Amino acid sequence: MPTNSISLFIRSHFQGEREFAERIRIACKNLNWKVKISYISTFRDSDLNCDWSLTLVPGKKCPLKKNDYLVLFDPEYHYFRSGGHLKEMYFDYAGYLTAYQNTEVLFDDIDHNIQRIYPKRWYPLVQYRPYKEVTPSRLFYLLCGWGDRCSDIRYKTLQDMLAQKSYTNFFGNPEAGRSYVKVFKGPIEFDGESVLNLISEMGVCLVLHSSTHLKYGIPSGRIFEASAASAVIICDLNPFVIEEFGDSVLYIDQNLSGENMFMQIDEYMRWIQEHPKEALEMARRAHEIFEEKFLLENQLLDFDQFHR
3-state secondary structure the chain: CCCCEEEEEECCCCHHHHHHHHHHHHHHHHHCCEEEEEEHHHCCHHHHCCCEEEECCCCCCCCCCCCEEEEECCCCCCCECHHHCECHHHCCCCEEEECCCCCHHHHHHCCCCHHHECCCCCCCCECCCCCCCCCCCEEEEECCCCCHHHCCHHHHHHHHHHCCCCCEEEECCHHHHCCCCCCECCCCCCCCCHHHHHHHHHEEEEECCCHHHHHHCCCCHHHHHHHHCCCEEEECCCHHHHHHHHHHCEECCCCCCHHHHHHHHHHHHHHHHHCHHHHHHHHHHHHHHHHHHCEHHHHHHHHHHHHC
The pLDDT-based confidence of 55 (bands split at 50, 70, 90) is very high
Q: Are 20 and 63 in contact (CB under 8 A)?
A: no
Average pLDDT of every residue of the chain? 94
Per-residue pLDDT, averaged over 293-297, amounts to 98
Residue 21 CA to residue 15 CA, distance in Å, equals 10
Per-residue pLDDT, averaged over 98-107, amounts to 93
In angstroms, the Cα distances linking 6 to 32, 46, 69, 234, 241 are 12, 12, 11, 35, 30
Nearest to 236 by CA among 226, 217, 222, 250: 250
| pLDDT recorded at residue 64 | 64
| pLDDT recorded at residue 261 | 98
Per-residue pLDDT, averaged over 187-196, amounts to 97
The pLDDT-based confidence of 2 (bands split at 50, 70, 90) is low
Could you give the percent of the chain with pLDDT greater than 70? Answer: 98
| pLDDT recorded at residue 182 | 94
| pLDDT recorded at residue 5 | 95
pLDDT of 175 above 90: no
The pLDDT-based confidence of 44 (bands split at 50, 70, 90) is confident
Q: Are 75 and 216 in contact (CB under 8 A)?
A: yes
| pLDDT recorded at residue 49 | 87
| pLDDT recorded at residue 61 | 77
CA 210, 212, 216, 219 torsion: positive or negative? negative
